[in-house]
Structure 1
């Protein structure tokens, strides 16, 4: 299976302000639902989804803090297949010396793990069928 970039996740301080910006930019992103989940998603024609949230990294990554010269505001999500593949990729990357931020975990959404690339960019590995290129 070819590895696919499936989603860009932006952890933001103000969901409504961020959604307004991306709507103004030209994306057909839905408005924030009052009292709804702290997330808005938009699947682009390329198949890549832009997900804007105030509560993913802040909830599931105990080391996360709002960026200030070293933190992160976004994650690159890669759909890797089944839960077992998330587990094995996590183990392989840690064995190779890469930094893990969240071990494989069943989140409120996908089964996922978080690792850093060599530059400190945060990568989310998931088995979320919604992120599959075939979905």
Structure 2
């Protein structure tokens, strides 16, 4: 069996604020259950995005929240270059910190913005990141 990335788990400080950000991004994130600080959104690619405020702290006694910089980028394929421009502008207008305006990089046309917890969200029109109808990525 080939190992597959099935879920990306983000430890967030404020669940409602993070849900609002990812909804602003365009994901149909559901409301969390009333008794649990967690929400899961499954994307068409098959990968799920899980937002939680307590998993790591509950199960890993050595866990501590990073205090500076960033360790990962979450790349979201959003379609064409105009979509990168539009979504970046909407997120920045909504008050989310801009990290890189829409730019033609050495690779894809891309922009970066921070989510409420400082995770860097990369918006791209990179065709290589567009999922195939069966959920696989282009080669």
Which structure: larger Rg?
2
Normalising by the residue count of structure 1, what TM-score does the alignment of the two structures yield?
Answer: 0.50
